[in-house]
């Protein structure tokens, strides 16, 4: 494993919060393990002041920033990932793997992550959620309807699959290209309830692409963690 692309879905709600999150994105430490990590922060923002604030913070920290120009019709994590994949298609040298995550899913232990990444690659580098959860937890009928619509006629509620926690997962560049050709990143997701259904959507697709008999999970002690910071002191609606 020599090169890793990281696509982070982001939005600006509070400048202090976003500064804190960016300080925790420690992917540069992976160079000690001969892994080059290029981080692309995709902002779900309209043109204007908030977009400029987020862009300036990201670039100040040496990361790549791009606005999701199709927000809000293609919003939330799926919209940001769609924009990130379109961006990476123009990169001359593709990565060995691509990590898709919320900006609040941060690297906390480079040693543990590098070991897990090596083991994942050696095992075949199949698509894997960073964390999973039982599919039927709070799987309300409205969410089922959305996942069915996105997956299409092949959807099988009774098959063996798990939800993809925080809409965060990893896959090889080969599988990213295959997912893009299958229009996995194509559904429009403008609604807040779409975001709630996405964990099941990604989980279903990844479980059936990887090993249907044993849904794959990348993490555990993988050196990454979810940062729960206070975003509630800004009254703007979230723009995932």
Helical residues (DSSP H) of 89-158, grouped into ranges = 110-122, 141-151
Q: Quickly list DSSP for 143-206.
A: HHHHHHHHH-TT--TTSS-EEEGGG-EEEEHHHHHHHHHTTTT-S-B-SHHHHHHHHHHHHHHH
pLDDT, one tens digit per residue, over 183-193 is: 999 999 998 88
Query: Sorting pLDDT into bands at 50, 70 and 90, what band is 236?
Result: very low
This prediction has a pTM of 0.90
Query: Sorting pLDDT into bands at 50, 70 and 90, what band is 178?
Result: very high
How do the residues of the chain divide into helix, strand and coil, expressed in percent and rounded to 5?
A: 40, 20, 40
- Average pLDDT over the chain, rounded to whole? 86
Question: Can you give the pLDDT at residue 233?
Answer: 44
The segment with the largest mean pLDDT, out of 9-18, 78-87, 100-109, is: 78-87
Question: Can you give the pLDDT at residue 211?
Answer: 53
Is residue 239 over pLDDT 50?
no
| Mean pLDDT, residues 23-40 | 89
Rounded distance between C-alpha atoms, residue 142 and residue 22, angstroms: 34
Question: Can you give the pLDDT at residue 148?
Answer: 95
Q: Which residue has the higher pLDDT, 234 or 193?
A: 193
137: CB partners within 8 A, 6+ apart? 163
Is residue 24 over pLDDT 70?
yes
Set out the domains of the chain in order of their start, with CATH numbers.
3-226 (3.90.550)
Rounded distance between C-alpha atoms, residue 9 and residue 239, angstroms: 10
């Amino acid at each position: 494993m020599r090169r890793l692309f990281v696509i982070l879905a982001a939005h600006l709600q509070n400048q202090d919060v976003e500064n804190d999150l960016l300080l925790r994105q420690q992917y540069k430490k992976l160079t000690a393990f001969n892994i080059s990590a290029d981080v692309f922060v995709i902002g779900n923002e309209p043109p204007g002041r908030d977009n400029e604030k987020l862009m300036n913070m990201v670039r100040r920290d040496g990361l790549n920033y791009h606005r999701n120009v199709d927000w809000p019709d293609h919003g939330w994590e799926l919209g940001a990932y769609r924009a990130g994949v379109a961006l990476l298609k123009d990169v001359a040298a593709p990565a060995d793997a691509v990590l898709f995550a919320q900006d609040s899913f941060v690297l906390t232990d480079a040693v543990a992550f590098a070991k897990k990444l090596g083991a994942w690659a050696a095992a075949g580098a199949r698509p894997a959620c960073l964390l999973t959860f039982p599919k039927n937890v709070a799987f309300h009928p409205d969410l089922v309807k959305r996942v069915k619509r996105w997956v299409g006629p092949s959807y099988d509620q009774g098959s063996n699959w798990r939800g993809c926690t925080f809409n965060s997962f990893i896959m090889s560049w080969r599988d990213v290209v295959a997912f893009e050709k299958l229009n996995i990143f194509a559904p429009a997701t403008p609604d807040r309830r779409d975001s709630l259904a996405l964990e099941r959507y990604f989980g279903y697709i990844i479980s059936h692409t990887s090993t249907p008999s044993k849904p794959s999970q990348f993490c555990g002690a993988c050196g990454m963690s979810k940062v729960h910071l206070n975003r509630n002191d800004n009254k703007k609606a979230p723009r995932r």
